[in-house]
Amino acid sequence: MRSLLAISLLFLSIFSAKAQENKGVTVSVVLENVLSEQGEILAALHTSETFMKGMGIDGYETQAKKGQLVFSFTGIQPGVYAISIMQDLNSNQRMDFEENGMPKEPYAMTGTMSMGPPSFQDASFEVGTEDLEIRIRF
């Protein structure tokens, strides 16, 4: 009887450990330098498949507030991701552009920003097994 109890406890502990491993990590984002309270802040967590193509695998939206904004993506599995953020000044749920193709609204990404459209490689970061904080500046 004791061996049956011991085996049951062993399986239960293995199952519990696997369940904890699969819950993912939290990626906290600190957005710095929001210059106005106009419109909304829209953020998206992307994989290489969703980058610059759509909504991303997770999103965040809130009313814009001057200064610093902190939010999180939770349950993120290890992998390579990028975050895009924009301030939707006119609340139309999309980026607006000047006639010359330049964005009219503030935006930022993880990684390095260069001239021209951003690439996933330049914007990407790696998520491991530990919670992560990322600072992004408009």
| Domain ranges, ordered by start, for the chain | 24-137
pLDDT attached to residue 125: 98
Q: What fold characterizes domain 24-137?
A: Immunoglobulin-like (2.60.40)
Outline where DSSP puts E strands in 6-131.
Answer: 25-34, 40-46, 58-63, 67-76, 79-88, 107-109, 125-127
The pLDDT of 115-135, averaged and rounded, is 94
Taking a C-beta distance cutoff of 8 angstroms, is the pair 86, 95 a contact?
yes
Q: Is the pLDDT of residue 84 over 60?
A: yes
70 beta partners: 30
Give the pLDDT of residue 2: 53
Between β-strands 125-127 and 67-76, what pairing exists: parallel, antiparallel or unpaired? unpaired
Total-model pTM: 0.82
The pLDDT, as a whole number, for residue 43 is 98
As a residue count, the chain comes to 138
- Higher pLDDT among residues 19 and 126, named by residue: 126
